[in-house]
Structure 1
């Protein structure tokens, strides 16, 4: 075991719920709850405006593009500004946009173009918010508590989005077509108030060089990511994994309802199993990190996920697919918790926003590419081939993690 992994495996402290972390956790969970309502309701609204599958898919694509265009810029800005103020200001703006959209839906003025503009704008603002949130957490909890804090935030968000918000969407839609968007707007305002009340310790930042530009600072973040062997390997592995994830997610409904012949109830069971596995993963992520070290925990997660994908693509039994998706979600959360914590631990405090942005941007780029590849594979070789394609890509990702473990 390397010195780094010995430190990683040391027993961490737990974050205190009182004070800043508890409010940040609540803000993150409330915001995810509102986002899940909107994410579930928007496609349904889109189908009432058009029957063209390409146009409906374009609404989803508008939620990916901003990360590719502005993700790096959002990280550079997050390192320049007061992260707390940036977060609550962004949430106030997003809340105002959602409130206006709710009014448009209620008055019958929603259009497909408006949906695309909304998705693009919210994600563009999210590039600043998400990078600022990643950089803010280390100023609210002790360094040794970062892993536990990340696990609690991600688990809370998964419960709020997957188990609380999703069943509520039909209820809200029965009240009004605009209701999910109104609740989302309120969630942004509440989250903004919670974040505004935080009093984090100021990060240590060296004075900016005279004439320094956002472009130069963004490039510095990319160089820092590339120079760290562990983070470089983790970024490469995550990008490859997201290509596989894009292929799987884009065709999963066809895999379950078509190849397995399980219908909509089977698909609902599969999605529920994945969500339940993700919650369980948040509970064990720290235990695996303490037992094996963070990088090895990610490596173990990748190996198990590879096997789960292979089972999904080869065994034509719904029960096996459900169990495999639960295991896949469990290990996915282990991967995400330890990945985020490693980024926070290994990045210079003054550059965490930029390093996080570089990581996210490169990783997000893989998802739409994978969706296209998965669709082409399913059309050409069968509905189970995207899962097998994803399994092969995860093998490549695991191979990329081996040098990271030795860093």
Structure 2
């Protein structure tokens, strides 16, 4: 099922990404659960998410330039090795009793920098492994594996491991990243984008920004994702305080909290398989509009209830729709961007889309500190509703025209190369 007719090299990438995302899933639950043992301040808990996501604001453009000038597989190997080393150091610090909330901040920041390199390179390498007409299927299968590992298996495993011991919770992702490196080493081939001339990093970054700036379609989608990520980052930054502990609204235990997050994971996995049928039956524009409506359940449900089953239902719906959005828009982005520019476009796109996450974390912590955690869910729900306005402009015709323009440009480039011009 993993390759599904997409080739052995894709299967190796699929396996490595699954292991790497399982490590991510364990870590993203372990870090805030451990942080709660050091502090109960919403602002300080929010600071952990801020540190983890800040690299997308500061380092994303550089990561994209590197992905377009260096071998993308090699960058993924280096990034995973760096993440394993950083977390191994934190594990040793915990075992020796010198761990602190500030050390968690430092580890989150370093791991976040490595993540920008890994994720940018991973999205950029995919069109070099499978044909463009199979990108929706390849992205769907890859997302299914990543989400299963990152959100379905990882969170409850992380909650269980934290309850067993902090050192074990941090040590497990280290071993998983090492296993992911081993599988990626089996992926043979050259994954460096063709570069017609030598340029500086600064010039490369500027070219990627210009490409995104010229594409109103991609720029609009990136801003929409940025607004949603701002809202979801604000919500999940403080959600652990709303959900975990005898004094919280939901009164969940650490393992129960990890289990609750699997509702979103189940929905996300379902969404990866529903994306292709939704795209085919509804059209991309209608499918994306429905995903905006569905994502509202993710951020706003806790404002109205502390019932874990209702909140889990909201997460399930939100997980489905977020995955449908991701498969459709990432495949679109890969189709409308020349291969030599894909790393820089992905990084410029994510600067807008993911660079808002640390800002959302700060906003969530501030609102939670001043007005209470529940108000974070209401304010962010209103932001998500406003996402329906730009969807009036995003149509199937505009997406089709963008794809046709790139196909014509690449055919012209091939023709010029063949004729010697």
TM-score range, shorter chain: 0.7 to 0.9
Cα distance change, pair 403–383 in 1 and its aligned pair in 2 (3 A): same
| Residue number among 213, 216, 223 corresponding to 1:229 in the alignment | 216
Identify the residue that residue 249 of structure 1 maps to in structure 2: 236
In the other structure, the counterpart of 2:321 is 331
CA contact (8 A) 2:156 2:258 kept: no
Matched, 1:368 2:358: yes
Measure, in 2, the Cα distance between the counterparts of 1:390 and 1:17: 39
Task: Note the alpha carbon deviations across 1:211-231, whole angstroms, 9 max, x for none.
Answer: x22112111111111212221
Alignment correspondent of 1:4? none
Decide whether aligned partners of structure 1 residues 71 and 310 sit closer, same or farther in structure 2, where only a CA change above 3 A counts.
Answer: closer
- 2:251 counterpart of 1:263: yes
266-275 vs 387-396, which moves further: 266-275
For residue 188 of structure 2, give the secondary structure of its aligned residue in structure 1.
coil
Aligned to 2:127: 138
* Change in 2 beyond 3 A, CA 1:114/1:307: closer
Contact residue 20 and residue 200 of structure 1 kept, 8 A: no
* Structure 1 Cα separation of the partners of residues 307 and 43 of structure 2: 31
Shift of 1:192: 1.4
What secondary structure, in the 3-state scheme, does the structure 1 residue paired with 2:252 have? helix
Taking structure 1 as the reference length, the TM-score comes to 0.84
Q: Distance in 2 between matches of 1:169 and 1:332?
A: 23
Q: Which runs of 5+ in 1 are unaligned?
A: 1-13
Q: Helix, strand or coil: the match of 1:404?
A: coil
Q: Secondary structure at the match of 1:220?
A: helix
Question: 1:401 and 2:391 equivalent?
Answer: yes
Cα deviations by residue, 1:183-214 (Å, 9 ceiling, x for unpaired): 212212221122222134656524224xx221
2:347 corresponds in structure 1 to 357
**For residues 324-363 of structure 1, what are the alpha-carbon distances to aligned partners after superposition, in whole Å with 9 as ceiling and x for unaligned?**
3321121011112222211111111101111100111211
SS state of the match for residue 332, structure 1? Answer: helix
SS at match of 2:130: coil
The 2-side partners of 1:386 and 1:18 are apart by 45
Tell me the residue number matched to 1:74.
63
Contact 1:139 1:201 in 2 (8 A): no
Among residues 133, 143, 152, which one is paired with 1:154 in the alignment?
143
Deviation at 1:178, TM superposition (A): 1.8
**Displacement of 1:163:** 2.8
The separation in 1 between residues aligned to 2:308 and 2:103, in whole angstroms, is 39
Partner of residue 8, structure 1: none
Matches within 5 A, 1:21-36: 21-36=10-25
2-structure distance, mates of 1:306, 1:167: 24
Q: Report the aligned-residue RMSD.
A: 3.1
For 1:96-135, list aligned pairs within 5 A: 96-135=85-124
Distance 2:283 2:4 in 1: 19
Change (3 A) 1:238 1:106: same
Residue 199 in structure 1 maps to residue 191 in structure 2: no
Distance 1:306 1:118, change over 3 A: closer
Identify the range of structure 1 (344-353 vs 97-106) with the bigger mean alpha-carbon deviation: 97-106
Q: Output one character per residue of 1:289-309: Cα deviation in whole Å (capped at 9) or x when no partner.
A: 222333442222113334776
Report the Cα offset of residue 75 of structure 1.
Answer: 0.5
- In 2, the alpha carbon distance for the partners of 1:165 and 1:311 equals 23
User: For the Cα contact (< 8 Å) 2:302–2:377, is it kept in 1?
Assistant: yes
Distance 1:179 1:277, change over 3 A: same
Question: Is the partner of 2:196 in helix, strand or coil?
Answer: coil
Determine the C-alpha separation between the residues in 1 that align with 2:151 and 2:297: 24
Matched residue SS, 1:264: coil
Deviation at 1:157, TM superposition (A): 1.9
| Contact 1:255–1:383 under 8 Å retained in 2 | yes
Q: What stretches of structure 2 of length at least 5 have no aligned partner?
A: 399-421
What SS does the corresponding residue of 2:97 show, helix, strand or coil?
A: coil
Q: Give the TM-score normalised by structure 2.
A: 0.82
Alignment CA distance shift 1:291-1:164 (3 Å): same
Length, aligned pairs only? 392
Preserved CA contact (<8 Å) 1:285 1:337: yes
